[in-house]
Amino acid sequence: MDEKQRQEIANFRYGLIAPLVTRRLEPGEQAQLLKEIARHSYDIPFSTAKMVSVRTLERYIKAYKEGGWDALKPSPRADLLRSKTIEPEVLEKAIALKKENPARSVRQIMAILELAKFVQPGELKESTLSKQLRRRGITKKALETDNKSSFRRFEAEHRNACWQGDVQHTLYLPHLEKKGKKKMAYLVVFLDDYSRYAVHAQFYFEERVPRLEDCLKKAILKHGVPSMIYVDNGAIYSSHHFARICGRLGTQLKHTKPYRPQGRGKQEKFFRFVDQSFVPEAYDLIEQGKIQTLADLNQFFTAWLEVAYHQKVHNSFKQRPMDRYQKCDHPIRTIPPHELIEVFLLEETRKVDKTNCVSLLGTTFEVEPGFVGEKVQLRFDPYDMSIIQVWKEEKRLKDAVIMVQRSMKWEKPVESRKLESEETIQKTGLNYIELVYEEYQEQQKQNHQSGFVSLMEEGESV
């Protein structure tokens, strides 16, 4: 191990214990900080390990207090071991073979070295070569990882250059419909990478694409359009519709590579702060009955975000996120609200049936005549189905309307119904059938009388 590597390891160790050795701590505070530091995973230089124990941190603190920064450098005994057991040229060749093909095992590398006459059969020990490669970070996992340090140091050049999006399962609220039950509240956040400013953050009851889109839409209305959105591989971020929205906005959508959490540290740190500063207090208010609904929760969270988070000086750049975002002079790209609504519309393709109708989300709509048997594109807001746009070959047609079922039962014309509803119609008391019946009765009476008279006249003549 050369001096440069030893110094890099010392820098890493000092970074771990710096919060403990650079200031005076209150009783009990050191133990709490040690547990917090040991709880996280790290990219430890030249090591496959990810965690650092409390005991190891205490050893680093003791070494630093006794010998300063130099005492944090590892012992050079690894180099001494190498010179006694493996010739430098042989070790160099073994490292080159591993880098050339990270999948090669130590045993296979030894076989190559023996067949190529670099070493005699049995001269190398598998455990020794394996130990030397591990100490230098020459492992399959390390070699297949592309420059981890660049991810750790990544920061956007200016505001709105990159927004990071994520969702946290934050806390439970009382279920309003089921007494005694609770319902999960999900926190959806978009964080400006440059300033760590939360361009928008809101609680929802579902972790679904429409909620993600609602959060993004509100962020854009307030702070403009980002150049890139950086998210993980969750289902809501991998939908085709979300990718289409980013394409329409002219925003690059970038996903974290599977099993590669690098670059997500800013979001994780934000959520840790939410857990430490907001969640315990929110649960107190829930118990007091001051937070019962999602609207209550968002009201308190917005206040906390503006006061406790945006105005807190960030450790990395020694500025408040609010100031860093607002003082950046990079121009903000905006989009008119009516155009933004169009960008977020859902799109579905449907075939027009023989009755000039299409089915959408369980509802039947009528389209303008002339497209029976053809496919049309429907654009709509799932939360407002009053307007259903119909498109054909990038040309907008008349909007679809809900189909009205026609009944075989006779109904009064609309104008007649409207007239009757607007004014009271006076009853005439006349009925045609009743009048006909009365007329019939009168005719019958007259016939009877005329017949009786005829009989009387015949009797007199006799």
Same domain, 131 and 179: no
- What would the two tokens of residue 265 be? 């540290």
Which domain, by its residues, includes 187?
Answer: 163-327
Mean pLDDT of the chain: 81
The C-alpha angle 410, 416, 422, rounded to 5 degrees, equals 135
Do residues 210 and 319 both lie within one domain?
A: yes
Specify whether 184 is located in the same domain as 258.
yes
- Do 66 and 82 lie in one domain? The reply is no
Helix (H) or strand (E) holding 320: none
| Number of domains observed in the structure of the chain | 4
Quickly tell me which residue has 């519709």 as its tokens.
Answer: 241
Domain shared by 68 and 32, yes or no: yes
Identify the band that residue 297 occupies on the pLDDT scale cut at 50, 70 and 90: very high
Do 320 and 182 share a domain, yes or no? yes
pLDDT in tens, 154-186: 788 899 999 999 999 999 998 888 888 899 999
Q: Tell me the pLDDT band of 458, cut-offs 50, 70 and 90.
A: low
The answer to whether position 8 is within a domain reads: yes
Range name among 127-136, 236-245, 372-381, 411-420 with the lowest pLDDT average: 411-420
Label each residue of 357-400 as H, E or C.
Answer: EEEECCEEEECCCCCCCCEEEEEEECCEEEEEEEEECCEECCCE
- Specify if 400 maps to a domain: yes
* Cβ-proximal residues to 222 (8 Å cutoff; 6+ apart), any chain: 199, 200
Contact status, residue 63 vs residue 21, Cβ threshold 8 Å: no
pTM above 0.85, yes or no: no
**How far is the C-alpha of 392 from the C-alpha of 411, rounded, in Å?**
36
DSSP structural state of residue 410 = -
Q: Taking residues 339-360, what's their average pLDDT?
A: 89
Six token digits for residue 83:
């010179």
> Do 46 and 90 share a domain, yes or no?
no
* CA–CA gap between residue 251 and residue 245 (Å, rounded): 9
Contacts with 191 (C-beta within 8 Å, 6 or more apart), sequence order: 163, 164, 165, 166, 197, 198, 199, 266, 267, 270
- Collapse the DSSP code of 9 into the 3-class scheme (helix H, G, I; strand E, B; otherwise coil) and give the result: helix
Residue 370, in any domain of the structure: yes
Residue identified by tokens 């009797």 is: 459
134 & 188 share domain: no
- Digit-coded pLDDT (tens) for 53-107: 888 889 888 888 888 777 888 876 544 444 446 888 888 889 999 888 888 888 8
Q: How far is CA 360 from CA 27, 357, 404, in A?
A: 65, 10, 15
Q: Say whether both 32 and 114 belong to one domain.
A: no
Q: Which of 38, 72, 106 is the last residue of a domain?
A: 72
The residue that leads in pLDDT, 351 or 153, is: 351
Residue 320: inside a domain: yes
Q: For residue 120, how far is the Cα from the chain centroid?
A: 58
Of the two residues 113 and 86, the one the predictor is more confident about is: 113
